[in-house]
Amino acid sequence: MAQMIINGMVLGMIYALIALGLTLIFSILNVVNFAHGQMYMLGGFVVYYLYGVYQWNYFLALAAAALVLAGIGVFFEKFFFRRVIRLARREENTMLLAMGTALLLENLALFSFGEKQRGVPSVVTGVYEIFGAYLPAGRALVFFLAFLLIIGLLLFVQYTRPGRAMRALAQDKEATYLQGVDINRISALGFAIGAALAGVAGGLLITVFAINAGSGTAVSTKAFMMVMIGGAGVVSGAILGGFVLGFCEAIGYETLPGSTTYLIIFLALILFLIVRPQGIMGRPQG
Amino acid sequence: MNRFKGMKLTRIWGVVVAAFIVSIVAGTAFAQEKVLKIGQLGVMSGPAASWGLVNKYCIQAAAEMINEEGGVEIDGEKYKIELVSIDDKMDPKLAVSGMERLVYQEKVKYIVGPNVDTTAASVVPVIEAGGAINIPYAFSKALYSPPHGNSILGMIASYQAGPVIYKYLKENKGVKSISFIARNDSDPLNQRDEGVEAAKKLGLNIISSTDTYEPGTTDFFPVMSKVVKGNPDLIVLSGVAPADAPLLIKAARELGYKGLLSTETAQDIKILNEVAGQYAEGFISVGGASTPEIQSDYMKKFVERYKKVAGEWNDEAGTKVYALQMILYTLQKAGKSALTDVEAFKKAIPEVKVRNPFLKDEKVLKYVGTAYFGQPRQIGVPMVVNEVRNGKFETLFIGSVED
């Protein structure tokens, strides 16, 4: 039982961090960023090369991952999505573009980094035993850093000027524009932060899970699930969705035959969305 | 105006005639250099990308070495080897369309791959209708047994390695109880089932055998918690991909598991060290002719060439290096007619017995597998079982598949 709870908590915190970036981009730009998993993967590779190969300090490497992915986020928003959002009449156009960017990043990564799984040594070693359950020190550090990042983001969004502008943009684009807010700048910032969060998640988790060029798709799928559970575009929903999925996975693998865990999770998700399509924290559309 | 028009027409005709002459000359030049096209169809993207890419790099590296010597000689004529490679993304639909392109458009008769049961089974109708031979890395016995006969298994199957490994561990390491964990996919599940049967025959106590994880899983703590709880002497990672094995090992060790871990698939020591680190110590897996202590000089040269082509060595290549070599040996035995008629190739299969070029010691390389498939449809790759010691693969023992 204790192991199940610890697994759920650690998974939940990690998933929450991954989902936050996705929901942020969706809330501000109304773009479903299919490349979110690939951005996570790239963040992992940045840390692999800087910390694992070139022996940089881990925290510097993590900061570099955030900056690199923020840069990619700004590039994508400015040169790809901004134009399509302005000209397209249908939302599907941005979805298709997002899928294209996902494939682009994945194949670029395969070409640049090869096909192999990559990992780095844990930043801290050792295993803690808590009420008979095991918690590796590396996971404890990831949990702690993810927690700090989530708190940091929430404070940023709540109490800073750009953060308030992002919230305003998520609520009402036209009204925000009329208030004199530079929509393009805030959109770029939102995409940058969302991408940076994905990159940092990758940089944290490469110390625990390892990474390869194909890692992104599974991460994107789970990120979408969390966002659907919690409510698309709702920051608190993304956090909640992350924990719900994390605990479902931990409980499912502990108590059910492995092959049925995700079968039941998907079935439960379908039923849940039929009853509450906007997710736990989302508001009904229209 | 008419004069200018006439000059323009003359120039155009002049270019056309010149192009025609050049193409005839070039065509003649190429026609003098005979080409043997070898196909490669496998998964080259996603988490299992290394399986197909290693096939590709092995053929590329070997082909370069052979072509530098003038090519492969068949019935007194030299042929340069040309690789045609297609990514099937481990998707049966793409495997079928890829194989159709190889067989019908590229006119390839000999193909290495695919890499898993689902894709290997999907292409059987294509290779049989198109008159081709393929060397898959899938373990389903149906592929290699009558009425089928156009597929040749390129490596040791899990149901061949498993019993040998479990018996060795039972006799030498005191293993009495065993648990299995597999990816929720047909290949690994089949391998798990075969492993369970082998364990039962050996009288091992099976603690658990139903635990699985979804493809794409990266956090194995939840699923491994359950397996480790049973505290078996040996945990078998059935059909595990090189990307997943170190994470499973790490999860097991971090959960306090002290017993043995093994798999019947080939692994990569660099990935094991990078991801699992010290936790990989003692991990047992199946390798190819890749441990330095058994390599021939030719294998060492191949290793260096492979590193140039692929950027770094991959232990899986020690197994997959055999495919192209066996195709060429068999073509040489069968003669030129086998270049277009695979029935001639199939007739020559039982006659192929050569000195294994990849091993230091004199060992025979031939087709095996009659005991499993009713016909010799498996390359007799040596069964090298490795154990990780101090961050390196060391040979635990060497076996072979029965004829």
The residue whose two tokens read 């609520």 is A171
Helix (H, G, I), strand (E, B) or coil at B244: coil
Say whether pLDDT at B46 is over 80.
Answer: no
Burial (0-12, 13-18, 19+ Cβ within 10 Å), B100: middle
User: Mean pLDDT throughout B172-182?
Assistant: 96
CA distance B363 to B358: 9
Q: Classify residue B295 by its DSSP letter.
A: B
Q: Rounded to whole angstroms, what are the CA distances from B376 to B130, B353, B354, B383?
A: 21, 12, 15, 17
Residue B93, token pair as written in the block: 């639909």
Give B87's pLDDT tier (boundaries 50, 70, 90): very high
Tens of pLDDT, residues B334-370: 999 999 999 999 999 999 999 999 988 888 999 999 9
Name the strands in the sheet holding B133-135, side by side, starting at the edge strand that comes first in the sequence. B72-74, B77-87, B34-42, B110-112, B133-135
Tens of pLDDT, residues B203-235: 999 999 999 988 778 788 888 988 999 999 999
- Each of the 286 residues of chain A gets a pLDDT tens digit; together they read 788 888 888 888 888 888 888 888 888 777 888 899 999 999 999 999 999 999 999 999 999 999 999 999 999 999 998 888 888 777 788 888 889 999 999 989 988 887 777 888 888 888 888 888 888 888 899 999 989 998 998 899 889 988 888 888 878 888 888 888 888 888 899 899 999 999 999 999 898 888 888 888 888 888 888 888 888 777 788 888 889 888 888 888 777 766 677 788 888 888 888 888 877 777 665 4
- pLDDT, residue B28, reads 46
User: Between B184, B219, B274, which is nearest A209 by CB?
Assistant: B219
Closest chain B CA to residue A258: B212
Please, which residues 159-198 of chain A have a Cβ atom closer than 8 Å to chain B? Answer: none
Q: Which residues of B touch A (CB under 8 A)?
A: 44-50, 53, 181, 184, 210-219, 221-223, 225-226, 242-243, 246-247, 254-256, 268, 270-271, 274-277, 310-312, 314
Beta bridge partners of A128: A135
- pLDDT, residue B395, reads 86
Give B14's pLDDT tier (boundaries 50, 70, 90): low
- pLDDT, residue B39, reads 98
The pTM is what?
0.76
| Residue type at position A183 | I
CB contact under 8 A, B268 and A127: no
- pLDDT, residue B331, reads 97
- pLDDT, residue B202, reads 94
User: Mean pLDDT throughout B18-36?
Assistant: 60
- Does the beta carbon of A214 lie under 8 angstroms from any beta carbon of chain B? yes
- pLDDT, residue A29, reads 78
CA distance B248 to B259: 13
Choice between B163 and B10, residue whose per-residue pLDDT is larger: B163
Tens of pLDDT, residues B107-163: 999 999 999 999 999 999 999 999 999 999 999 999 999 999 999 999 998 888 898
Say whether pLDDT at B165 is over 90.
Answer: yes
Q: To the nearest whole number, what is the mean pLDDT of chain B?
A: 89
Task: Select from B189, B272, B275 the residue whose CB has the most chain A CBs within 10 Å, as the one to mutate to test that interface.
Answer: B275
User: Between B47, B212, B225, which is nearest A7 by CB?
Assistant: B225
From A10, A211, A14, A244, select the one nearest B218 (Cα to Cα): A211
CA distance B127 to B103: 7
CA distance A121 to B271: 12
CB contact under 8 A, A115 and B45: yes
pLDDT cut 70: percent of chain B above it: 90
Crossing angle (nearest 10°) for helices B117-130 and B92-100: 30
- pLDDT, residue B29, reads 44
Give B2's pLDDT tier (boundaries 50, 70, 90): low
Say whether pLDDT at B170 is over 90.
Answer: yes
Tens of pLDDT, residues A153-195: 889 988 998 888 888 887 888 888 888 888 888 889 989 999 9
Choice between B68 and A12, residue whose per-residue pLDDT is larger: B68
From B185, B186, B183, B236, select the one nearest B206 (Cα to Cα): B236
From B361, B119, B139, select the one nearest B266 (Cα to Cα): B139
**In chain B, ranges of CATH 3.40.50.2300 domains:** 35-155+291-382, 158-265
Cα-Cα-Cα-Cα dihedral sign, residues B192, B195, B197, B199: negative
User: Between A107, A117, A254, which is nearest B271 by CB?
Assistant: A117
- pLDDT, residue B17, reads 65
User: Mean pLDDT throughout B248-261?
Assistant: 93
From B398, B242, B249, B250, select the one nearest B314 (Cα to Cα): B242
Cβ atoms of B225 and B193 within 8 Å: the answer is: no
- pLDDT, residue A283, reads 64
- pLDDT, residue B19, reads 58
- pLDDT, residue B18, reads 61
Tens of pLDDT, residues B260-283: 999 988 788 888 888 898 899 999
CA distance A1 to A133: 8
Fold of B35-155+291-382: Rossmann fold (3.40.50)
Say whether pLDDT at B259 is over 90.
Answer: yes
DSSP string, A198-241: HHHHHHHHTTTT-B-TTTHHHHHHHHHHHHHHH-TT-HHHHHHH
Choice between B199 and A209, residue whose per-residue pLDDT is larger: B199
Fold of B158-265: Rossmann fold (3.40.50)
| Residue type at position B317 | A
